[in-house]
Amino acid sequence: MTESHRPSGEYASPVQVNPEWPPPPAYAPPQQPPQEPQEPLGQSAQPAPPAPQAAARRKRSRGPAALLAAVAIVAAAVGGATAYGVQELTGDGTVASSASTATSVVPAGQKGTVSGVARAVSPSIVEINATSNSGSSTGSGVIITSDGEIVTNNHVVSGASSIKVSTDDGKTYSARIVGTDSSKDLALIKLENASGLQAASLGDSDGIQVGDQVVAIGSPEGLTGTVTSGIVSALDRDVTVSTDESQGQQQGQGGGWPFEYGGRQFNGDTGGSTTTYKAIQTDASLNPGNSGGALIDMNGNIVGINSAMYSSSGGSGSSSSDAGSVGLGFAIPVNTVKSDLPALRSGTTN
């Protein structure tokens, strides 16, 4: 707010004078305000302190400007966060990656609930049906780009000659294998003629702790979009799996792959060709068909790719009471997935 001041003695405007009155006295120039005494030469002139009223006036005038500056800074920060959030949710051919598990893709009103996580993330989870000369298998996958890049387990698509993928909205796509990494039990596939898909937000598996609540989504036994929940039971568990291509098709023939490995326990003698990796242990219910699906934190970020579970059953001859989850499931940490993506995208197959 600015103010207008008029020098003392200066006339604001001419005044009409009645001619019957005596003539006005001779004009006297306005007196100049007294000048402040000058500092003697050789001494530095110090500015005079502002008058109390002027200082208060300036202080008041700076208040709104400072407030506006603060509001502008906050708005810029919020705007940056909003843009970041939109980029994550919309995808555009890039991996939707969350820098922290604190980033939430679950609506505020449902944050921290299993139903909120399921509603937010289910559109990013798919069912995969792979067929080869050895048979067929069913697994799950996670959409990581809007144009149809999907992460799954290597054993779900290993040796497949045909891959069909069903999305949450009931659409079916053909897919091809882009790259595989049997040492980490990971694979990247790509849907044909897909666009506008909802990419999942990849979180930070280094940020999870034992006891954290998690949600698993997949297609156990072909039951598309099944949601289970539990906690992180342990970290850095050594899990050994088979890398034989023929093992990937045993599920369709009653062998119980990928969790029993032909009747043998997941972390034991699984055949002549095996690999071991560090996994997240969870008690969220996992069953055959959950492989390649998502392990999700309560903010809706993917923290792991479900890959195996413990089973004490003895193969196809076991009773039904021995089958199913016993609360010992395992997932590949999502940070392992993110570090492996460049190699998978390059078409590496090993």
Q: Which residues are catalytic?
A: 155, 185, 291
> What residue type is 96 in one-letter code?
A
Residue 128 and residue 279: Cα distance in Å, rounded?
22
Closest CA to 307 of 277, 327, 335: 277
Residue 303 and residue 284: Cα distance in Å, rounded?
13
Residue 272 and residue 244: Cα distance in Å, rounded?
8
Residue 225 and residue 218: Cα distance in Å, rounded?
5
β-partners of residue 302 are: 202, 296
Residue 252 and residue 171: Cα distance in Å, rounded?
23
What DSSP line would sit under 152-201, residue for residue? E-HHHHTT-SEEEEE-TTS-EEEEEEEEEETTTTEEEEEESS--S--PPE
Residue 48 and residue 217: Cα distance in Å, rounded?
73
How many residues are listed for the chain in this entry? 350
